[in-house]
Amino acid sequence: MLIEPKFPARVPIAYLPTPVERLERLSKHLGGPELWIKRDDQTGLATGGNKTRKLEFLVADALAQGCDHLVTTGAPQSNHCRQTAAAAARFGLGCSLVLRGQKPDATTGNLLLDHLLGAHVYWTDAKECNEATAGVMANLRAIGRRPYAIPLGGSNVIGATGYVLAMRELLSQLEAERLNVDFIVFASSSGGTQAGLVLGARVYGYRGTVLGISVDHPAESLSTQVAALATATATHLGLGTLSVVDLLTVNDDYLGEGYARVGETEREAIQLTAQLEGILLDPVYTGRAMGGLIDLIRWGAFTRGQRVLFWHTGGAAALPAFADKLL
């Protein structure tokens, strides 16, 4: 192990450690490597998800600065926005969500939960997210509030810190069970989760492959983004200048028709995982990542003797909003 990171303050939100389970029936069905799953859909915050780990550090930073209102942005069915609204509610903070596009006809899935959690929801319409968010921040300051801006997906050095710790947690669990995992596979989008995982892999000596399945960005641009964030996070944690470029693996073969566009890849993965394991994936992130993993298994990217862990980053709350695409 390298020097132990100097972790900043965090607030307790997530139910940790999240379970690691074997996907015995799915493994048998696919006839490939032995599959396992890390259940970050069970972090506990308003149906759970990976952003909860990030919010432990982000909310702590907001409170330390004396802020009283969280502001963030995302897509209409953003898991990150839903978890941010829940974290704000838990700590008695206000919350404003700036969602891309126009207000939909139906209020369902994560959007329904945003409202139930008391968030103020704004729509960008024709504006850019940054412009719309800046306007909301300015309005809050004008009425005497102290807003704290959280970037898309919570993906900055503060948020990524949560997944450095998550890698330490996983490796401790694997050591306790005497398990070796050859690949860790997960959905990658805004880059914070992958940056934390690869940095954690470097710090804590994970020798396998950390494979991000991109859900919306070309591999080259996502890799550049993750590498820069991981290096910045290393500096933030007192590790000096640390490169993780050699640990970065991004697969962009499963972008399909674009972000949040459900096709046969996602549909089959969601149905198989539900019907064989009783585990719900989401249509945008984990469904696409699991679909990619299933396809990679089918064309022989892994051997039968290997062990692959799928890191479930949550998102099942979005399923009702995609019912017409899933059935």
Look up tokens 């394991």; give the residue: 277
Q: At what angle do helices 51-64 and 79-90 cross, to 10 degrees?
A: 40
Q: How far apart are CA 285 and CA 110, in angstroms?
A: 14
Q: CB neighbours (10 Å) of residue 180?
A: 11
Q: CB neighbours (10 Å) of residue 182?
A: 16
Q: Name 261's Cβ contacts closer than 8 Å, sequence gap at least 6.
A: none
Give the sheet arrangement for strand 249-251, strand by strand: 20-22, 34-39, 307-312, 183-188, 209-214, 249-251
Q: CB neighbours (10 Å) of residue 280?
A: 18
Angle at 190 between CA 240 and CA 277, to 5 degrees: 110
78, 96, 155, 214: which one is catalytic? 78
- 172 given a catalytic annotation: no
Whole-angstrom CA distances from 13 to 49, 109, 162 are: 12, 22, 12
What is the helix (H) or strand (E) element at residue 74, kind and residue range?
strand 69-74
Q: Name 217's Cβ contacts closer than 8 Å, sequence gap at least 6.
A: 189, 225, 252
Beta bridge partners of 69: 94, 147
Whole-angstrom CA distances from 91 to 71, 97, 106, 157, 324 are: 14, 17, 29, 22, 36
Residues recognised as catalytic: 78
